[in-house]
Amino acid sequence: MPKPRAPLGFPASRGGPQLPSDSEDSPGMASLSPLSGYIQNEHRQAGLFSLGPPPEDPQKRRRKKCGACVPCLRKENCGACGNCLNRRTGKQICRMRKCDQLKKRKEDWEQRASKHPERREDRGPGGGVGASDTDGKRREREREREREREREKGITMAAMGMTTRDAGVEIALVNGEIG
């Protein structure tokens, strides 16, 4: 069992900046053809067009799906993969639809190979060019969050007179994994 990061009272508040509603099962979108857009983007990126937005920090710039690979051509989410099941918190495209290009690392995408094998940025799909100030801050927060999580867990368990294992069973029960 991974991390019980599941928010007890999940994002039911739409007041936030942007919280995806619970529309995992009801796509309802049939008149959408983003592929054309992506292809145009490709052209733009290739330098054929110059009406794109000004190049921001390469650090924050994102790659886009190629729109031509098999996963890209897939229209619907499988609804069964981890990303589909966790879209609310995971915020990732369906695994079956993940563009082959985006699966590669940025460096690879940009056709670069100058990198040290000891650098953390050496990670795969989710570890291309990163580790900057923003990331450092994020790490800090992550640390805090984790400590808090642990603390809360301890408090809760203490209050209930539970062991770690008992807590796990309890959670499983709540989730309907047992019974």
Interface residues toward DNA, by CB under 7 A:
1-3, 5-7, 14, 17-21, 23, 27, 29, 34, 37, 41, 53, 56, 59-65, 82-83, 86, 89-94, 97-99, 102, 106, 120-121, 123-131, 134-135, 138-139, 142-143, 145-146
* Contact of residue 35 among Zn ion, DNA, none (CB under 5-8 Å per partner type): none
163: left (phi over 0), alpha (psi -120 to 50) or beta: beta
* Contact of residue 139 among Zn ion, DNA, none (CB under 5-8 Å per partner type): DNA
**Distance (Å, rounded) from C-alpha 150 to C-alpha 5?**
11
The least distance separating DNA from the CB of residue 157, rounded to whole angstroms, comes to 15
Asked whether 73 and 33 are in contact (CB, 8 A), the reply is: no
φ and ψ of 9, to 5 deg: -110, 85
User: Nearest CA to 57 among 155, 132, 3, 169?
Assistant: 132
The least distance separating Zn ion from the CB of residue 103, rounded to whole angstroms, comes to 9
